[in-house]
């Protein structure tokens, strides 16, 4: 059973609210079902009934439950308020991360000074980069949110081509790069920043898979640096041996 912790910097009512919200959103508490009574939950979490009530208030606010005096509190049935996590598997070869997805371009590509990405792309101080932000869906569910950087000097006019082709492979191909390889990939588990959480419509306390990658041309020259943030609930990266 889930536990709560005192003095951790998160109010008890907030922790209890999160646990119950999670139970509801993950489907462990079916729609329409009556929750345990406030007194019962207070006993279970070893907390005062008022604290439970405060948690309930937030759930009611979020339209996750509905309370009826004298009867009880019930899981609010809802069609499409929050995406219920159905836990799909999204198997994709690491090398093909950027292709074959239903992508939406969030921001028109901009030319920027290469601050932190300079090193990754092997660029000097005053060489500019293009940045492209995208978001991909599968089955209508948001799967990832990516930021890709390209050296602007080497690929003049890249954004227009990318907008037309919607594919990294295609775009690079038009610049004569018929092959490129994943130079390396860094994977870490993180909590999303506020911006990403909002974009991906997921709570700030649900982890994401944060993938940094560098693609290089056959001569080993980096051609793309990217950051992809996968929904931790929806995605499992599958790393195949060999390929």
Q: Given the rule CB under 7 A, which residues bind DNA?
A: 6-9, 11-14, 35, 37-40, 46-48, 50-51, 53-54, 56, 67-73
Residues numbered 7 to 66 that lie near a second copy (CB under 8 A) are 8-11, 13-14, 17-18, 22, 25-28, 58
| Contacts of the segment 110-113: beta carbons below 8 A, 24+ positions apart | 111/152
Query: In angstroms, what is the minimal distance from the CB of 41 to DNA?
Result: 8
Smallest separation, CB 188 to a second copy (Å): 5
Bridge partner list, 188: 210
For the chain, the first-to-last Cα distance in angstroms comes to 41
User: Of the candidates 41, 2, 227, which has an alpha carbon nearest to the alpha carbon of residue 120?
Assistant: 227
Residue 242 in contact with a second copy, rule: CB under 8 A = yes
User: CA of 227: how far to CAs of 5, 103, 133, 154, 182, in Å?
Assistant: 34, 15, 10, 20, 13
C-beta of 33: minimal distance to DNA in Å? 13
Q: Which residues contact 88 (CB under 8 A, 6 or more apart)?
A: 138, 139, 141, 234
Beta carbon of residue 230, minimum distance to a second copy (angstroms, whole number): 8
Q: Which positions lie near a second copy, rule CB under 8 A?
A: 2-3, 5, 8-11, 13-14, 17-18, 22, 25-28, 58, 81, 84, 86, 94, 116, 181-191, 193-194, 203-210, 230, 232, 235-242
């Amino acid at each position: 059973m889930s536990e709560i912790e005192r003095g951790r910097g998160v109010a008890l009512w907030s922790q209890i609210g999160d646990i119950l919200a999670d139970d509801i959103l993950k489907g462990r508490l079916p729609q329409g079902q009556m929750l345990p009574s406030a007194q019962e939950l207070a006993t279970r979490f070893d907390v005062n009934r008022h604290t439970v009530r405060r948690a309930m208030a937030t759930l009611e606010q979020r339209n996750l439950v509905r309370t009826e005096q004298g009867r009880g509190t019930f899981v609010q049935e809802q069609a499409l308020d929050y995406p219920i996590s159905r836990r799909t598997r999204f198997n994709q070869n690491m090398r093909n991360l950027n292709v074959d997805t239903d992508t939406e371009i969030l921001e028109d590509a901009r030319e920027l000074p290469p601050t932190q990405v300079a090193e990754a792309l092997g660029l000097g101080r005053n060489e500019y980069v293009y940045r492209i932000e995208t978001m991909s869906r599968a089955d209508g569910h948001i799967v990832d949110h990516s930021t890709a950087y390209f050296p602007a000097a080497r690929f003049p006019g890249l954004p227009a081509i990318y907008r037309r082709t919607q594919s990294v492979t295609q775009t690079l191909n038009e610049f004569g790069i018929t092959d490129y390889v994943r130079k390396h990939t860094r994977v870490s588990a993180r909590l999303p920043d506020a911006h990403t959480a909002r974009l991906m419509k997921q709570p700030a306390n649900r982890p994401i898979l944060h993938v940094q990658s560098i693609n290089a041309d056959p001569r080993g020259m980096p051609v793309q640096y990217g950051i992809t943030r996968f929904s931790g609930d929806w995605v499992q990266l599958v790393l195949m041996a060999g390929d």
